[in-house]
Structure 1
Amino acid sequence: MKSAAPQDKHEVRPGQSIELLKELHILTRDGKMNQDSRRKLKQVYHLYQFIEPLMQQVLDAKSAVSLVDHGAGKSYLGFILYDLFFKPLLNDSAVGDAAASSKIYGIETRDELVARSRELAQRLQFPGMEFLNLSVAESTTSQALPEQIDIVTALHACNTATDDAIEFALKKKARFMVLVPCCQAEVAAELRKSKGDAVRNNPLSEMWRHPIHTREFGSQITNVLRCLQLESHGYQVRVTELVGWEHSMKNELIVAEYKGGKSNKAAQRLAEILSTTGLQSLERRFFTS
């Protein structure tokens, strides 16, 4: 069962929690919308249109859905997913049990945000939401999470936190990943170190000779390497952009679905890129086996 689409994509959907939208500052305290509210709502629905079909596919295939949201912050994403997708299903006799046993986990390092999210979930009666005070790396070995997770999201997880989320998803055998990378500083730092013998005879090194190009190229190649890494592990990867995020340069969206098997071609191509750009030191970060 899918939630009905609104007649106006910039208006609140029927059945949504007005209290939640106020808490997330999508609606003003008096329940009204302004220009900023409409922009935020546009972002919410745009994200939801990517993730809702993935949750539906999982629910169609098994009895419950498990989703982990890394770097959750105020758990903006998790609350919206639960409100729009799981809450309507709880009263549906055909899938109510599956919805009731589904879980959304918010992973966040800031105590006050974890406490706030727990309180809000309890107040809104969202029993399928759980919030853990962990780093992305810590969550990989935490006993508080199940051995297998269906969907992993990481929106604007800074720098290597996105890579930690990918490692988490690979170890948890996630069927889907939804990633919006942010602040890719590690690769740019390594590129600065490699402006010597390793790339002296590589004309493409001109792409990161100047400092501003180093930063931009570092960000671009980081996501290219991530896509190749995912493909090497058997994922089909789609790269697009988030509309409605025009205020942010970090609007690249990576959606990956596990299809099985390994891609030696992707692993070989990744290794070649690391070698020709002098980034061999990052082989562990972008592991393919």
Structure 2
Amino acid sequence: MSKQAPSAPGRDKRRGKPADAAGAANATGHADTAPQAHEIRPGQSIELLKELHILTRDGKLNQDSRRKLKQVYHLYQFIEPLLQEVLATHPDVSLVDHGAGKSYLGFILYDLFFKALAGTPRIYGIETREELVRKSEELAARLGFGGMSFLNLSVADSISSPSLPERIDVVTALHACDTATDDAIHFALAKQAKFIVLVPCCQAEVASVLNRNKGKSLANSLTEIWRHPLHTREFGSQVTNVLRCLQLEAHGYKVSVTELVGWEHSMKNELIIAQYRDLPRRRPAERLQEVLRTLGLEEMGTRFFAPQAA
């Protein structure tokens, strides 16, 4: 978010207010204000928040940036204990953030957790937009965040990229678009990730298959659940995340699902956290196949796959 250009000296004729006061308000009509002490975590670099345009150059927040900071900190509260658990086993903690965008989460994780670690901890940001990768690289260099790398790759291509290690401790994918959330799950499974943190997005693929196969399933009364287009979209989104959870459980992960606080403005506010515990796989694998068959989604078995039986 860029600062609003200052108004010319004098008065705002439309409102009868001093022009400098009118210029301090952002586009939504809410004035920039100094952050309260509780709004910025201890040890957080103020310069980083300015570089990310969360704080204005004079150190203030507006309504949008205050909400963004709250969201990132809320995610940090979930991720930091996972990083601590990895750190208890080895110092070279590694995290891959898929669909990194401007890397708000990656930079704040590095600033608050990674930069103080011994060893060679690493954060990798995966992003398809080259200009965002370049800007993130430049910012990391300016801040001296030597343990951050940014790769101009799709999530699918990152699975086989030689620029990434064979194993990764933590994988995140927050609102990764198109099929990228599922590709991130496949990446995490291939990299034997200990923890996976997902905020799913773009769940239209299952809904499309449900709609296409609707005529074949009319004899099944369950079809009423997705007979109407609105219900098809909503049910498809719900089923997608159920299938993702079953897939993770079928690979030995313990899965928890919760709602992100402070993300009420977004329909995509579901948080899935998976921890590898080498749990029994047979029952969730059977359930996964059963759901696919019951809903006529067998063709999606390659996306939502269980391990091959030994």
TM-score by length of 1: 0.91
> In 2, are the aligned partners of 1:68 and 1:104 still within 8 Å (CA)?
yes
- Calculate percent identity across the aligned residue pairs: 71
Please give the alpha-carbon distance, in whole angstroms, between the structure 2 residues aligned to 1:10 and 1:36: 17
> In 1, are the aligned partners of 2:122 and 2:147 still within 8 Å (CA)?
yes
> In 1, are the aligned partners of 2:249 and 2:279 still within 8 Å (CA)?
no
Higher RCO, 1 or 2 (CA under 8 Å, sep at least 6)? Answer: 1
Q: How big is the shift at 1:12?
A: 1.3
String of CA shifts for 1:107-158, please: whole Å, max 9, x gaps: 0111100000000000001010000011000000000000000000000011
The amino acid that maps onto 1:209 is R
Question: Counterpart of 1:65?
Answer: 93
Match of 1:39 among 67, 91, 100: 67
Question: Is 1:103 the equivalent of 2:122?
Answer: yes
The amino acid that maps onto 2:50 is K
String of CA shifts for 1:207-230, please: whole Å, max 9, x gaps: 110001111111000000000000
Question: Is 1:225 the equivalent of 2:243?
Answer: yes
Q: How big is the shift at 1:10?
A: 4.5
> In 1, are the aligned partners of 2:251 and 2:281 still within 8 Å (CA)?
yes
Please give the alpha-carbon distance, in whole angstroms, between the structure 1 residues aligned to 2:49 and 2:220: 52
String of CA shifts for 1:186-221, please: whole Å, max 9, x gaps: 101100111122x22321211110001111111000
Please give the alpha-carbon distance, in whole angstroms, between the structure 1 residues aligned to 2:284 and 2:42: 44
Question: Is 1:235 the equivalent of 2:256?
Answer: no
The amino acid that maps onto 1:230 is L
Residues 9, 191 of structure 1: alpha-carbon distance in 2 compared, 3 angstrom cutoff = farther
Question: Counterpart of 2:218?
Answer: 200
> In 2, are the aligned partners of 1:10 and 1:41 still within 8 Å (CA)?
no
Question: Counterpart of 2:299?
Answer: 281
Q: Give the 4+ runs in structure 1 shifted more than 4 A.
A: none
Q: Secondary structure at the match of 1:123?
A: helix
Q: Secondary structure at the match of 1:256?
A: strand
Q: Secondary structure at the match of 2:108?
A: helix
> In 1, are the aligned partners of 2:254 and 2:279 still within 8 Å (CA)?
no
String of CA shifts for 1:250-283, please: whole Å, max 9, x gaps: 0000000000144111111111111111110000
Q: Secondary structure at the match of 1:146?
A: coil
Question: Counterpart of 2:180?
Answer: 161
Match of 1:181 among 193, 200, 204: 200
String of CA shifts for 1:41-92, please: whole Å, max 9, x gaps: 21121000000000110011112100000010111110010011123x2xxx
- Structure 2 segments unaligned to the other structure (5+ residues): 1-35
Equivalenced residues, count:
272
Match of 1:56 among 54, 74, 84: 84
The amino acid that maps onto 1:183 is C
Question: Counterpart of 1:143?
Answer: 162
The amino acid that maps onto 1:211 is P
The amino acid that maps onto 1:82 is Y
Match of 1:129 among 132, 135, 148: 148
Q: How big is the shift at 1:9?
A: 8.0
Question: Counterpart of 2:19?
Answer: none
> In 2, are the aligned partners of 1:159 and 1:181 still within 8 Å (CA)?
no
Q: How big is the shift at 1:246?
A: 1.2
The amino acid that maps onto 2:127 is E
The amino acid that maps onto 2:306 is T
257-266 vs 205-214, which deviates more? 257-266
Question: Counterpart of 1:12?
Answer: 40
Residues 202, 54 of structure 1: alpha-carbon distance in 2 compared, 3 angstrom cutoff = same
- Structure 1 segments unaligned to the other structure (5+ residues): 1-7, 90-95
Question: Counterpart of 2:10?
Answer: none
Larger Rg: 2
Question: Counterpart of 1:93?
Answer: none
Please give the alpha-carbon distance, in whole angstroms, between the structure 2 residues aligned to 1:185 and 1:229: 18
